Amino acid sequence: GWKDAISTKIINFNNEKMQITWAARKRFPGQNVSFSYTFDEGRHKVWKSCPTYLLDEDYNSGCLFKTEGPTLALSIRNGNGSEELYSKRLKSDFYIKPNRPENVTFFWKEDTVTVSCNKPERGVKCLRLELQYKSKFDKDWQSRASKCCSVGEQGFDPRKCYSFRVRLKRLVPFCNVVTYSSDWEAETFWMNGTLLDSCDADTKSQLNTAIVLSYLLAGLLLIFILLALLCKWQRFQQSVMPAIPDPKYVFADLFNDHNGNFQEWITKTDHAVVQTKLEYEEPECITEAESQDEDENSDKLWLQEKIFPFSGAAESNDPKAAQVACLMPPSNTRATFAGFQVLMNDDMYVKL
C-alpha cells in the first residue's frame, strides 16, 4: 500500500507528451531512482526507460516522454532497478492539458465584445474557452467561460482601457480527473474597440493632459495676480506722487492754434473772455403770465415805488437801471421776478 501513497503529478500535454514528476528528496532521500513506463496492455508489456529525466539538485525528480496510447503504466525503481519503489496504472486521457488557443480574434460592437479562436483537431466537446478581463480601475480579473470556441461579454465602458486574456479549459469530471487549463494567450489591451500597446499609454496620455491643464491654470492665475499687483501699484503711485497735468492738453488751443505763441494766444484769449463775459452777463428775462386779478390794488401800490418810465431811465443813463432791462409783457399782465409777483403796464421796466 505504501507504493500507491507516493504523490505524483501527471500531465498529458494536449495528448502529445506525458510528464510525470515526484518528490525525489522527500520520498527517496539519498538515492537516485529510475523510471520506466509502457502503453501496452495484457501480459506482453514492453517497458521503456525514461528518455528525458527532470532533475532536482542532481536527483531524478520526473520524466518526460511521448504519449502513445490511452492507458499508461509506470514504475519507479531503485538506482540499479532491482527493487520497485512505486507503480501506477492510469488513463492518460484524464490528465490532458490543452494547448493555448490559436488565432484569437476580438469583435467589438458598441459595449459588447466577442472573442473566438480556432477549434482544436480533437476533444472540442471537452473544452471551454475562458475569457478574463479587467480595467485599470479593477483589482481582480473578471471571468467568463463558454463552449469552445467563442465567448462574448457586454457592458464595457468605451472610456476605459481593458486588459484581456483567454485560455482553453478542460472539463471536470467528465473529461478530466484533474482541472487542467492551457496557458494564457498573450495579454492584449483594448479601448473602445481599438487595440493598444498597453493601458499605461492611456494613463500617460491622461496624465499629460492633466499636467498641461494644471500649467495652463497656473499661468492664468499668475497673470491675474500680476495684473492685480500692477493696479495696486498704480493706485499707490497716484496717491503718493500725483500726476502733473500736461499743459499740452490743458492749453490745447495754445499749442494747436498758435504753435505755442503765448503773446498771440493771450491777446486773443482776453478778447474772447471779455466777449464771452459780456454775453454771459446779459440777463435772462423769465416771466410767467397768469390770468389772476386777485389783490390787483395791492400790487399797483407796490409798483409805484419800483417802476419807472422806460424813456426816463434811458435818458438819465442810470447805470443801475441799465444793468438789467427786460422787454415788458403786454399791459395788465402779472409776472413773477425772483419770487415776486408784479403787474406790468406798457412802457415800464423793473429794476432788480
Q: Which domains does the chain have, with CATH numbers?
A: 8-97 (2.60.40.10), 105-196 (2.60.40.10)
Instruction: For residue 173, say if its preceding peptide bond is cis, omega within 30 degrees of 0.
Output: yes
Beta-bridge partners for 202: none
Q: Who has greater pLDDT, 245 or 284?
A: 245
Mean pLDDT of 39-50: 86
User: Does the pLDDT value for residue 290 go beyond 60?
Assistant: no
CA-CA distances (angstroms) from residue 312 to 271, 308, 345? 33, 7, 15
| pLDDT for residue 163 | 92
User: pLDDT above 90 covers what percent of the chain?
Assistant: 31
Mean pLDDT of 69-74: 92
Average pLDDT, the chain: 75
Cβ pair 113, 104 in contact under 8 A: no
User: Which residues fall within 8 angstroms of residue 272, CB to CB, at 6 or more apart?
Assistant: none
* Cα distance between residue 117 and residue 101, in whole Å: 6
Mean pLDDT of 153-167: 91
Per-residue exposure over 110-144, b if at least 16 CB sit within 10 Å of its own CB, e if not? eeebbbbbeebeebeebbbbbbbbbeeeeeeeeee
| pLDDT for residue 343 | 45
Indicate if the alpha-carbon torsion angle 41, 45, 51, 54 is positive or negative.
positive
| pTM greater than 0.75 | no
In the three-class reduction of DSSP (H, G, I as helix; E, B as strand; rest coil), residue 13 is classed as strand
Mean pLDDT of 212-237: 84
Dihedral angle computed from the Cα positions of residues 128, 131, 132 and 133, in that order, rounded to the nearest 10 degrees: -170
In one-letter notation, the amino acid at residue 295 is: D
Q: What is the pLDDT of residues 330-350, one digit of tens each?
A: 444 444 444 444 444 444 444
Q: Which long-range contacts (C-beta less than 8 Å, at least 24 apart) are formed by 23-27?
A: 23/61, 24/56, 24/59, 24/60, 24/61, 25/56, 25/57, 25/59, 25/61, 27/86
User: Does the pLDDT value for residue 186 go beyond 80?
Assistant: yes
Indicate if the alpha-carbon torsion angle 214, 220, 225, 229 is positive or negative.
positive
| pLDDT for residue 258 | 67
Indicate if the alpha-carbon torsion angle 102, 169, 139, 193 is positive or negative.
positive
Q: Which of 61, 72, 60 is nearest to 96 (CA)?
A: 72
Q: What is the pLDDT of residues 96-140, one digit of tens each?
A: 999 999 999 999 998 899 999 999 888 899 999 999 999 888 889
Instruction: For residue 51, say if its preceding peptide bond is cis, omega within 30 degrees of 0.
Output: no
The helix (run of H) or strand (run of E) holding residue 79 is: none
